[in-house]
Amino acid sequence: MTTVGILGGGQLARMLALAGAPLGLRFLVLDSAADACAGQFAPLLQADYTDHAALARFAEQVDVATFDFENVPAESARWLAQRVPVFPGPRALAVAQDRLAEKSMFRELGIPVPEFADIATRADLDAAIARIGTPCILKTRRLGYDGKGQFRIRDSGLGNANADAAWAALGSQAGTVGLILEAFVPFEREVSVVAARSRSGEFRAWPLTENWHDHGILAASLAPAVVHVAIADKAIAHAQAVAQALDYVGVFALELFLVGDELLANEMAPRVHNSGHWTIEGAETSQFENHLRAVLGLPLGDTRMVGHACMLNWIGQLPDATAVLSDPCGHWHDYGKSPREGRKVGHATLRADGPDELAAGLRRVGAALARPAQVAPVIARLRD
């Protein structure tokens, strides 16, 4: 029996283990937390990701290794890859961990991106603000996610108070994780391509997904996105170019801003992705199963949609499951985590045969849970 090792033991690893059970797979999870929620479904090895002794024990027990999140140190991935197949490869992980390397790769591939600049000093910041203009966003190059490690600069002019505040907040990290300044994008929509590439180079993408965020954390995803087919095709072509350039193996997400008819690449996630959770009920093959197929060298499954779907993310604490479970469109996912502010603790997916039926399900669930604001923008988009 094949054993898949997963570095990181959060809900993504948990859902990978659930998807792998019908394939007859075993799993071993390595995480620094003793209560990592994937440990409820697979053996858990608690250790730091830089602990080579623990990584060696991990490698001895698995046939292939993959990731639950992208902040596993790239050096650890390279060390592990000398002992066991690791997918996606350490190079893809390293590029995706560094916003500067990531944006530079997009530009080299001809994929439009917002203006950006590497920031090492306060003088660099002032010069970049003068060139890029305001508003703009100062970000850490590494370790930022869900809106963390970012500071928006609203005022123009060198030495202004807002730039001072940005440097006070993030400047100390210039010499460690690094900083990047990016132009603010007045986007109309945020969309993502979730795609899979196999060891043999086979590429498949799920339909383009539109996403809504709340305080930097994904709140809802709608698939398929209500956009012109040419825009969806272009987004998928961008994702395929990235996958080929990195010789990528596994599932990944390419996040983009839509401004008019132009797509600007924001970032990529080298793993299964929150905006692809709807694929469990809404596609012939889920992102989790296809990730496992890809890293094991198996043929990829069909990514065709089954109807229309919307994923609603539960942040901080779970609402009442009854409202979702009693709805004919509803599917419930509890990650087995304790409540905590800003923490992803579960999600629901509503799936229906058509957009009107999906909108009706969203109205029912939104009303029952007293969350009209979370479902309102999705319902409005379904009317387009």
- Is residue 120 within 8 A of residue 133, CB to CB? The reply is no
- CA 42 to chain CA mean position, Å: 22
- Collect the ranges in the chain with pLDDT lower than 50: 158-159
Identify the DSSP state of 75.
Answer: H
3-state secondary structure of 257: strand
Which of 123, 259, 119 has the alpha carbon at shortest distance from 184?
Answer: 259
pTM listed for this prediction: 0.94
| Sign for the pseudo-dihedral over CA of 255, 259, 260, 262 | negative
Point out which residues pair with 332 in neighbouring strands: 348
d(CA 47, CA 8): 10
Please report which helix (H) or strand (E) contains residue 367, including its range.
helix 355-368
Q: What are 252's two structure tokens?
A: 């990944």
Q: 184, 162 in Cβ contact below 8 A?
A: no
DSSP 231-249: HHHHHHHHHHHHHHHTT--
∠ CA 253-287-257 to the nearest 5 degrees? 25
The DSSP 8-state label assigned to residue 302 in this structure reads P
Quote the tokens at residue 69: 């999140």
User: Residue 59 is encoded by which pair of tokens?
Assistant: 């490698």
Where do the domains of the chain lie, and which CATH numbers do they carry?
Answer: 3-86 (3.40.50.20), 115-183 (3.30.1490.20), 189-382 (3.30.470.20)
Task: Look at residue 278 in the predicted model and tell me its pLDDT.
Answer: 98
Please give the pLDDT value at position 174: 82
